[in-house]
Chain A
């Protein structure tokens, strides 16, 4: 497998702020790679390091085996879809899409033809004569996407491209992006702070915190086996169990995570389960998320549709296998 992007102990410091701190990273060719983390965690700076808008303070970056430090953005065969699209307001949609071809010297007829074809690819044929201001948010998003893709980049960088769209459009664009990536076979590097988006779209996810990658792996690994308390907390839906409780259950005094799907609820008292009180139940379609409280600790359980949901306020027993408790690091 060819490595598309490789970070070797890359740092980017802004004065005393370590935006990116000694990050090692390997993104494989043709992969859909997501960088996930809260704002200020360094994921966007990493993307800008690949694009060439930032230069590393220390470390080494390779793009398809070639050294990238000191190479300006315009000499990298890498294109970016910007967070707020960054479409040129004074140019038509056609000229926006054909911009990369224009600056590389492709003649007008050829680049307009290529731009028209590209617009058809994202279901915007005939929109070429409009100005970006005349498009809706979703349409601008597609124009920004094809403006980058028309240059046939080796790596496509996407900086929270779906952040400004409403939920329905976002879900639709997620599917389209995923399908597009598969059909074009281009390496996608996708920055997002939305856990659901990262897990559902990416082949692999890197979770960022404080300028470092705290865990990299497949969505299943990130979700099922969070490496640390931070990952479990940030990726969200897992229950985080404190060391005292894990010690009682698994005999080891370490932080643990427990997926709601692994927890079943019994109305009866007794057995090895934890006694808890039901404090809320949220219907989420395929299942119901039941939130319970055990000695001040909130533990969620997912009840499949069709099964009985205990009443709020009732006392129940939470049952799960010892092996379902995943042990992890305390810190970030």
Chain B
């Protein structure tokens, strides 16, 4: 080297350079600046409104005047246990479980294919196919399904063309889940829910399956396990964190939805509709708040159960 280059360059003159030097020396200040705006947002807007909601659920409504009584009480929670309200909760939880199970069964083979076999262009196509429905309006999709499932709709026509009308009639004559037509039955509602939420199951499941090394599957076969045993003992346990993550989406989204039960299915209420009705037309804000707490408690219990099952051990 002919030039005597400086080992340490001079302090920067620009403001940005000085700020950079300062933050490098004070990483705590940097973290403070980084986190303050989002924490303010979360703290005030999100936690604050959640707290307001929780508080509302401990108020009650005066049955004669319809005015809110601002004294803390558990009376409103007691109302949740009335048979008609308990019905709503049981109905919603049952539907959420069914949708989660249905989505998992449909998602698994697709996710497995994408994780194990799809390469290059096929993989891109997979992501596109899974994400594409999420780009269009949720309402449009639900109304489209109403047309598909309606008595004069595409499915009825298809079953007639295939001379399978008797099959459709048999399904619709089932107690509880059946109905006048698919669009007025729980089966129809289940189909729409699964359609709308299945991408949220596929993506985390695919991510977790992608992390299962191929040689573990080979090792299992090498040690004498047939396909079913390998699935039960190796693939399923290793995919469980993804399955749980996906089920958190499908379960909680179904639990809180009030649009699909309003468009497809019978007139019996779901939790989301109950919340909407009580805070809107009925003006019973405390009961609406108490209903909103139900999915939160159920999700909390579900996560505890999942943790106990070891679903997060692999994370």
Contacts and interface: CB of A to CB of B under 8 A. Distances in A.
Contacts of A52: 221-222
Contact of A103 (B215, B224, B314): B224
Interface string A271-290: 00000000000000000000
A141 interface: no
B252 interface: no
A78 B219 CA distance: 11
A103 B222 CA distance: 11
Given A88-B234, A90-B238, A74 B225 contact: yes
A112 to B, nearest CB: 16
B220 interface: yes
Contacts of A73: 218, 221-222
Contacts of A53: 218, 221-222
Interface of A: 51-53, 72-74, 78-80, 82, 84, 86-90, 99-100, 102-104, 147-148, 151
Contact of A88 (B216, B229, B313): B216
Contacts of B313: 90
Contacts of A78: 222
A80 B229 contact: no
6 contacts: A51-B218, A74-B222, A86-B215, A90-B313, A102-B233, A151-B223
B216 A86 contact: yes
A89 B314 contact: yes
Interface of B: 213, 215-216, 218-226, 229, 233-234, 237-238, 313-314
B218 to A, nearest CB: 5
A103 to B, nearest CB: 4
A152 to B, nearest CB: 11
Nearest to B234: A88
A90 B314 contact: yes
A74 B218 contact: no
A88 B220 CA distance: 9
A87 B219 CA distance: 8
B224 A104 contact: yes
Contact of B237 (A74, A90, A102): A90
Nearest to A150: B223
A174 B139 CA distance: 67
A278 B216 CA distance: 53
Nearest to A78: B222
A103 B229 contact: yes
Given A88-B234, A99-B233, A103-B229, A72 B221 contact: yes
A52 B220 CA distance: 12
A103 B223 contact: yes
A151 B224 contact: yes
Contacts of B224: 74, 100, 103-104, 151
A89 B313 CA distance: 10
B300 to A, nearest CB: 25
A147 B223 contact: yes
Contacts of A100: 223-224
